Each structure stands twice: as C-alpha cells, then as structure tokens.
Amino acid sequence: MKVPLWRVAFARSGDKGDTVNVGLIAFTTSLYPVLTELVTADKVKQHFKGICRGSVDRYELPNLCALNFLLHESLGGGGTVSLMLDAQGKTFSAALLRMEVDVAEDLVREADEVSGWSERLE
C-alpha cells in the first residue's frame, strides 16, 4: 500500500556547515531492508529538488535499523551565513517523512502498532 514515510519510519536531522544530515529509523526490524531498497540516495535527491543543491550520500546502519543521509549544499551557506528560517536543517527530518513509499500492508500494520498510529485511529 502507498503510505507516507512517516507511517513506517521516524527521523532526526541536524547540520554540519552547509550539509544537512537526516537519520531515518525504521519502526520495525522487518521494515529496515524494505526502506533500504526504497529510500535510495537518488530518490532522496529527487524528493528535495529545489532544496538540496548538491549531492546526496547514504550510509547504512543495519545495527540501528537506520539510514543516514547527507544532503550537501542545502542550507544557504549554513551556520550564521544562512538567511533561512531553518538554517540548521532541524525540520528536514519531517520533510523527508513526506515521501510516499509502497510498502506491504502487513508491514505497515506492524509499524502502526509500534508508532501508536493504530491507537490513534481507534
């Protein structure tokens, strides 16, 4: 089923100069290989079109069920040079979670139990 990434993962982002890092964490271990296949560096670069002007690197952390993305040239120069409201890239995590992904329904239901989404639907 097609769902926004926030149904199956959570994230935190931060800055290093003009680069944003977004750590994407799967809600369940069974979702990690699925996300690894679906959320590629190319897909993330395309998602942040018009926002990320440089390249995107991806690092895998199977031990934490997490992927780490580095979005280069994304903060208008970074630090105090930047004129952006979000000069430290704090909200890029939520921006990545807007991405739409196609995930097997049973895996989404499992994630809903962990994230608390199923309780909120009741």
Instruction: Give the footprint of another protein on this chain (CB under 8 A).
Output: 10-12, 14-18, 21, 23, 25, 47-51, 59-66, 68, 70, 76, 78-81, 83-86, 91, 93-95, 98, 115-116
Q: How far is the CB of 105 from another protein (least distance, A)?
A: 22
Strands ordered across the beta sheet of 66-71: 9-16, 19-26, 66-71, 56-61
| Residue closer to another protein (CB basis): 96 or 103 | 96
Report the alpha-carbon distance of residue 72 to residue 45 in Å, rounded.
Answer: 10
| DSSP per-residue codes, 10-30 | EEEEEEETTEEEEEEEESSTT
Q: How far is the CB of 51 from another protein (least distance, A)?
A: 5
Q: How far is the CB of 1 from another protein (least distance, A)?
A: 21
